[in-house]
Structure 1
Amino acid sequence: MEIRGKVHEIGATQQVTESFKKRDMIVAYAENPQFVEYIRFEATQDRTSIFDNLAIGEEVEVSFNLRGRPWTNKDGVTTYFNSLVAWRVTKLGNAAPAPSSPGYADMPAPVDLAGSSDDDDLPF
């Protein structure tokens, strides 16, 4: 899965156990600009470095996997957790611009067809 947005926050790498580390990044996702969503992605182990070269406010595309798992507490109540595990982040600001179609600025200047002559000879 992929999503595009702006980097809102980048967390520090957390050493959870001796053999497990993780890092979070929050992306502001504005499919509807009136209701911005702040989505938390996590990277684990050697992938924690994929957030290193990012800056707050940069436009990015995040490739991620959706993970879900149950957890049952001591009272037997099961709760479900979801994680968005990032595996690639691409900066969009440095992407080459798409070839544009000719626009108004590329058009030649208008020509005055009325001219300054009083000759009204029309061929029809």
Structure 2
Amino acid sequence: MASFEIIGKLVAKYDTVQRTATFKTREFAIEISEDANGRVFTNYVKFQCVQDRTEMLDRYDIGSQIKVTFNLRGTKWEKNGQINYITNLDAWRIEAVQLGSNTGTPAAGANFTPDNFPADQGVDDLPF
């Protein structure tokens, strides 16, 4: 399975949740702002940590610049004849990023930039 990296500012971290007797998770979110053709695009990405990795967040404060290494995971969920698909970004490493480095740009392999989209083809200013 491929791993991805992305750099951003820690904007939220949540308490650890004990899902079952043997499984726990913790969520957090980062802010990624990018300047593309004179316009600033801001995105918020939510991740989860599982098991012993839930403690990784303890050493980072809100506002810290961090690099998150994660795996992309998907699950098919079916209940009462309805099928749903759930996507998780499972963080497995978090590192501090020094101020003054390229903190607003995703690291190689992330491919989360507005530059990946074709130039202004009827794009409006809606946030979705």
Q: TM-score, normalised by structure 2?
A: 0.69
Tell me if the contact between 1:67 and 1:84 (Cα under 8 Å) persists in the aligned partners. yes
CA drift of 1:36 comes to 1.1
2:74 maps to 1:65? no
Tell me if the contact between 1:58 and 1:93 (Cα under 8 Å) persists in the aligned partners. no
Pairing 1:93-104 to 2, within 5 Å after superposition = 93=98
Show the counterpart of 1:30: 33
Tell me if the contact between 2:65 and 2:99 (Cα under 8 Å) persists in the aligned partners. no
CA drift of 1:31 comes to 3.0
SS of aligned partner of 1:36: strand
Q: Give 5+ residue unaligned stretches, structure 1.
A: 98-124
User: Aligned-residue CA RMSD in angstroms?
Assistant: 1.8
Q: Give 5+ residue unaligned stretches, structure 2.
A: 102-128
Q: Which amino acid aligns with 1:82?
A: T
CA drift of 1:34 comes to 2.7
Tell me if the contact between 1:12 and 1:24 (Cα under 8 Å) persists in the aligned partners. yes
CA drift of 1:30 comes to 1.6
Alignment size in residue pairs: 95
Show the counterpart of 1:81: 86
CA distances 1:20-59 after superposition (whole Å, capped 9, x unpaired): 1110110001234733111111000011011110011111
User: Considering only CA atoms, is the larger Rg found in Structure 1 or Structure 2?
Assistant: 1
CA drift of 1:94 comes to 7.3
Aligned-residue sequence identity (percent) comes to 36
